[in-house]
Every structure is written in structure tokens, then in C-alpha cells.
Amino acid sequence: MTKRQLTVTAGLVLLAMLLTVLIGVFDARRRVVAVEGNDLRAGQSAWVTATLDELRRARSAFEPGTKVFVDLEENVRAVAVLSGRWTDVPLHDGHSLSGRPGEAVVGSDITVRGDDLAVGGKTYTVVGRLGVRADSLLSDDVVIADPSRFSASAQRLLLDGPNSVHHYSAQFPGRSVEIIDDGTNRRTNVDAVSPVLVALGALVVVLIAVVAGLQAGRWELRTAAVRFTTGFRPLNTLRSAAARVAVIGTAACTTALAGAAVVRQTTTLDLDVTAAVVAVGSVVFAVSVASFWQGSRRWNC
């Protein structure tokens, strides 16, 4: 490739990578707004009657992000994560619960002394402030991480997580499950339109990646054709072309991941676009190599 062609290819790949990061930021923001509007429920939610110990013994059956709440008093809840981490937490300051007992996240209207909050005679360390903004639907809420707040006998618990009802029913057949229907409470622009925008954005990223790969393969093929006439074997030219595309993709991936790291450091969003960025780079590499290989098949080897 010439310098101009190299610049165009790198620009297209970098554009695809940066769009991937922006889509990730938008989707992460969408999820936390939806969680705030649904009173911290992020997945399929249901009221169940069980003990925390029972649910923990069956934790391998639940998907990452599954958690259980118990109401302690008005606007005060205890939470226990059954699988993975609790990531989609709407916060405007601080960070989410780490999983260690004794931590709390509270709304902006809750008065704390330093970083300490007293609930039921016990002191908890406040690590984050609930709500996308200070003036939020969760400004009066308190969520603590304390398994001792759950009763040793069966009690009414709120189970929340991906396909949580299905997994619970499979583990505890015959037990009653009161599914929470949020159909009339959801925000149309967040839960209907936004996923469509994310899907369309992902489609645009894939198209850019395919175009970048096709162009890279076509331009490398022109150079390789000249090298082939001077005695270079097609396999060697393919390796050289693949190496150049790999270098471009790696540089673009590194830049995109660095940008995602900056977003994580400067916001409260739990942004993880590593898999998506690597997937885009893989698409560019695979399409460029396939384009080059298909074009080189007409050479007499």
C-alpha cells in the first residue's frame, strides 16, 4: 500500500474502533438510566420466598449480574450478589459495591458523617452516591452490602438478573414466583428506541470494518501482483500483507481501548468494550486476508 492508502485504511479502522467505544458508552448510559427508572432492577425480576443460603447454594445456576434484595425499612435495602458483579448501578459519584460486607451506596438526600452511615445500629462505609444525577429517583434510597441482614428462615426476597425466574424455577420447582411486570413503567425512549440505535450503530461499525478490510486487501493485492512478477511467492506476499493489516488493526485497537480506559477513569460507567473492539479488528483482518487470497488465486503458482 502507498502512504495515502495506508492512511485511508488506518483512518477507516480507527473510525470503526472509536464508534465501537462511543456505542459502548451510549449503551452503558442507557442501561444505568433504565436501572434507575426501574428502582435498581436490571434484569428479569420476581418476588420469591427463600433464604439467602438456599440461593447461594444454587448460585452456579444463575447468570452473571444476578442479585437479591431484602427490604429492611422504608427506602433501605440489603443486597447480595449471587453471580458475577453488580455493574449496572446508576451513580453520579463514587463507585459501586465491591462485594465486601460493610459497604453502602446512598442517594444524595441521605446525610452521612464523613463516609460513615449508621443503619440499624451498624456503621457502613458509603462508597457511592445513587442516581445518574444528584436529583434522581433514588435520592432517598440506601443499599447496603450485609448478608447478616438476611433472615436465616425463608423470607420475601426480590430476585433480579438475566432469566432469573427461569433459573429459580428450575432450581426450586413448585415454589411460588411473583413476576414483576415493568411493561407500563418503562421509558419508551430508553427501552425501545435506544436498543434499536445501538443495533444500527453496530451495523454501521461492521460495514466500515468490511469496507476497510476489502480496501486493504485490494490495495495490497496490487502491490503483491508486482512483487509476484519479480519472483516473490504468493504465500510470502500474503504474509507481508497480513502483517501490515495486523499492525494497523493492533494500533487502532490499542487507541480505542485507551479511550475506553479514560472513560472508565473519568465517569462512573462500567464500560467494557474489549470484546467488541477485538471483534472489529478481527473482521478487518479476516476480510482483508480473504480479499487478498481470493484475488491471488488467479496467479499461476
Chain segment 168-203, per-residue pLDDT in tens: 999 999 888 998 876 544 554 556 677 788 888 889
Each residue's pLDDT tens digit, 23-71: 999 888 888 888 888 888 887 899 999 999 999 999 999 999 899 999 9
What is the number of residues in the chain?
301
What is the pairing mode between strands 177-179 and 44-50? antiparallel
What's the pLDDT at 301? 46
Total domains present in the chain: 2
Domain that holds residue 243: 3-30+189-296
Same domain for 170 and 75: yes
> Do 20 and 86 belong together in one domain?
no
- Asked whether residue 301 is domain-assigned, the answer is no
Give how far Cα 261 sits from Cα of 24, 86, 132, 237, 271, Å: 12, 19, 20, 36, 8
Other CB atoms within 10 A of residue 211 CB: 15
268 lies in some domain? yes
Q: Are residues 139 and 244 in the same domain?
A: no
Q: Does 212 share its domain with 149?
A: no
**What pLDDT does 79 receive?**
94
Q: What is the pTM of this model?
A: 0.74
**Distance between CA atoms of 252 and 265, rounded to whole angstroms?**
20
Q: Choose one of 181, 202, 228: the last residue of a domain.
A: 181
- Rounded Cα gap, residues 180 and 126, in angstroms: 29
Q: Report the 10 Å Cβ neighbour count for 48.
A: 23
Do 274 and 210 lie in a common domain? yes
- Residue-level pLDDT at 234: 60
Q: Give the three-class secondary structure for 139.
A: coil
